[in-house]
Amino acid sequence: MDLEIGDKVSLIIGSESDLGFSVLIEEEFEGLLYKNEVFQNLKENQRIDGYIKNIREDGKIDVSMQPQGFRNVIDLDSDRLLDAIERNNGFISLTDKSSPEEIKMRLAMSKKAFKRAIGSLYKQKIIIITKEGLELVKKII
């Protein structure tokens, strides 16, 4: 097996179970994509990109739809949040008090990922946080 943790791979979605979705990795290996890491609708035989999350001692492979590593995940989520704010004229009416369901529906990410993305963008002075939502910092020229 030439797979390593963090590798980007091609996935074909299989059947759904209580744990998640069985997947075919690189049309050769079987793996599992956990439900709590899926933030979009998936269909059997759908092809998506994924990442090797873990290769267990018993040979079973866990995969994720997000790149592994704290920095990669935050960057990806921050970019997604920033893009949503920019598409909405520089403001989005979501806050850390928004429900996990609303965040998932509007941004396709977990509340935890959303809060990390807010923190990253705020530290970079890209957004300001208001009671009503998140707003892009206006650059003075």
Does 1 map to a domain? no
Number of domains in the chain: 2
Structural domain includes residue 141: no
Whether residue 131 sits in one domain with residue 93:
yes
Residues 75 and 130 in one domain: yes
**pLDDT tens by residue, 3-61:** 888 899 999 999 999 999 999 999 999 999 999 888 889 999 999 999 999 999 888 89
**pTM of the full structure:** 0.56
> Do 41 and 87 fall within a single domain?
no
What is the residue range of 118's domain?
A: 70-136
Rg (CA), the chain: 17
Judge if 12 and 47 occupy the same domain: yes
The reply to whether 59 and 74 lie within a common domain is no
Report CA-CA distances (Å) from 52 to 9, 33, 105: 7, 10, 25
